Structure 1
Amino acid sequence: MSSTTEIASSFIQDAPPGELQDVVKDIQSLTSDTDPFLLSRLKPAFQKYNEEQLATAELPARTEPVIISKYNRLPDGRYFDSESNTSFDFDHVTQKASKPQSYTHPSPHRDLVASLQKSFSNYAHEHFPSATYGVYPTMPAEDSDTDSNSSSLALLLVSNRYSPGNFWNGRWRSSYVFSPGTHDISGTIAITVHYYEDGNVSLTTRKPVHMALSPPPVSSSSSSDDDDHATTVVAAEVVKKIAAAEKAYQIEVNTAFVAMNEEGFKGLRRQLPVTRQKVEWEKVGGYRLGGDLRGGGQR
């Protein structure tokens, strides 16, 4: 990989929320004359960025966007949506979906996926103003000895808030993997905020999460109604655990901000200049850089 490709790839990986296309334009303007084919070599960097940042795409079969991630990527490079049973191509540079086709993932947990989608949708729309969510089966590798019944389910949520007119953009991402066999939930919550009015400030936080559900009671009956009820209960408990973890993290972040404002920022700024006197800013144009600010220098 050339140094130009490496540098441009790092620019892409560091692109703030909602500003990837601005980074692309900057790369093009800087390299169009010297390396017109650079963007084509940056496709791996774009794919990594879109999958890690949970980019979203519009599909004709959906009224809401779908998520792009490693969990719903197919072996041929296409992506699938469990809710609309659709697969599609995705251009990682333009972030546009195309060529939708009917597709049903061969998961043994279709009923659980449907229940999780319902519960997760209610939670996402209640707590996030612009949420996109997805529940995706993740099958073991073809050469794995793992039984298919132990396959896991990925629950993804992303909420973007873009306000370029006010010089800030932000993104909430949460990714969880739930194992129906062990009832374990593991994942990560991530927040990225970029504020760039009269400066350039970025906040990036990550919180690993690990939880476990209590196994549901074993029913003596094997009726479909009992199975449906058990599936609904498991889905509700999974989302309940996720909701509790995300609420706790939001409280943790808010508490850290309050402490930073009251303690950290105060330590970064001097209350008074070295003269121990307040600067009369309306007269600052008449000060001399040397003597006057030291107090008593010769004019």
Structure 2
Amino acid sequence: MASKQATVASFVESAPPGELSNVVADIKALASSEVQSLDSAFKKYNEEQYTTVKLPGSSETVLISKYNSLDDGRYFDTASQTAFDFDHASQKASNAQSHPLDSPHADQVRSLQTSFSRAATEHFPTSTIGVYPTSSSIAILLVANKYSPQNFWNGRWRSTYLLDPSSNTLSGTIKVDVHYYEDGNVRMSTNKKVEASGVGGADAVVREIAKAENKYQEELNRAFTALAEGSFKGLRRQLPVTRQRVEWEKIGGYRLGQDVAGGRQR
């Protein structure tokens, strides 16, 4: 059986998009003593979900991920050539300092940053990207969040691509996570693997990414249409067996055995 700490940490790590603060509030109410021991869970959540943060004095957002993590617990951003501290619990950045891009593939990173930023602006209403050199590849990341709590849904699109500069091969994963919670609790979490070879310059790499993401979005649209017109309709009757729509707003005024069951009041 998992420990209480592990169970609480799992709630943090699996929090739906845009709802981490709600999960933490619930934990504080139900198990306040465990909040102080959740540092590793917050770190895992922020790095895996590509949490975005504004640097001090900047209006632009940057990503938090394992690909731009520094050994001393700081993170770096290649576009602004800045390193900064990040508090995983409060999701705040501080102590920003200059961090020049130092990589054999620096020029390629800059070119990818420009091309990918342009494509992201074209295809996503709002998004944050990051292009980071690693020991053996170049990581190309994107996160696009859409939160609509007034309509009881939140969603997140995450893209992760690793480009091997020596072989011009590209591999990656697209992840989509949507939570709908009006009068229920429905969550969709899905992913798609992407592979491409023989990609050339930055523009060619980004074209392959855009093609893969457009194709996946079309697949999702077809799947949603099929579900709406097929499986979802079979989950419940359009009308109850009486063929009359239930007036839910009046249910609270009914007495047991009266009207609902069609009988007389006793």
TM-score, normalised to structure 2, is 0.89
1:280 and 1:256 map into 2 onto residues whose CA distance is 29
Take 2:62 and 2:151, find their aligned partners in 1: how far apart are those partners?
Answer: 27
CA distance in 2, matches of 1:91, 1:50: 10
SS at match of 1:71: helix
What SS does the aligned partner of 2:224 have? helix
* 2:159 matches 1:174: yes
Report if the CA contact (8 A) 1:213-1:237 is conserved. no
SS of the residue corresponding to residue 159 of structure 1 reads strand
Contact 2:239 2:245 in 1 (8 A): no
Query: What per-residue deviation string (whole Å, max 9, x for no partner) do you get for residues 68-104 of structure 1?
Result: 0010001111110001111111111111111111112
CA contact (8 A) 1:80 1:88 kept: yes
Structure 2 Cα separation of the partners of residues 288 and 101 of structure 1: 68
CA RMSD of aligned residues (A): 2.2
Q: How does 1:1-299 map to 2 (within 5 A)?
A: 3-32=3-32, 35=33, 38-60=34-56, 62-139=58-135, 151-214=136-199, 234-270=201-237, 278-279=243-244, 281=246, 286-287=258-259, 289=261
CA shift for structure 1 position 208: 1.2
Structure 1 counterpart of 2:154, one-letter code: N
Residue type at the aligned position of 2:187:
S
Q: Measured at CA, do residues 250 and 31 of structure 1 come closer, stay the same or move farther in structure 2, by a change above 3 Å?
A: same
Instruction: Decide whether the 8 Å contact of 1:89 with 1:99 is kept in 2.
Output: yes
Aligned partners of 1:125 and 1:288: how far apart in 2?
Answer: 54
Task: Report how far residue 159 of structure 1 moved.
Answer: 0.6
Question: Any idea what the Cα deviations from partners look like across 1:260-280, whole Å, max 9, x if unmatched?
Answer: 011111222246656xx5236
Bigger Cα Rg: 1
Return 5+ residue gaps in structure 2 as ranges: none
Identity across matched positions, percent: 55
Q: In the comparison of the two structures, how many residue pairs are matched?
A: 257
Unaligned 5+ segments in structure 1 are: 140-150, 217-233, 294-298
CA distance 1:106–1:266, shift in 2 (3 Å): same
How far apart, in 2, do the equivalents of 1:109 and 1:60 lie? 28
TM-score normalised by the chain length of structure 1: 0.80
C-alpha distance in structure 2 between counterparts of 1:49 and 1:27, whole Å? 15
Q: Which residue does 1:143 correspond to in 2?
A: none
Taking the aligned partners of 1:84 and 1:155, their CA distance within structure 2 comes to: 16
Q: Which amino acid aligns with 1:87?
A: A
Alpha-carbon distance, 1:2 to partner: 7.5
Kindly state the Cα deviation for residue 39 of structure 1 after the two structures are TM-superposed. 2.4
Q: 1:113 to 1:279 in 2, by over 3 A?
A: same
The amino acid across from 1:170 in the alignment is G
Q: Is the 8 A contact 2:13 2:41 kept in 1?
A: yes
Q: Aligned partners of 2:169 and 2:68: how far apart in 1?
A: 20
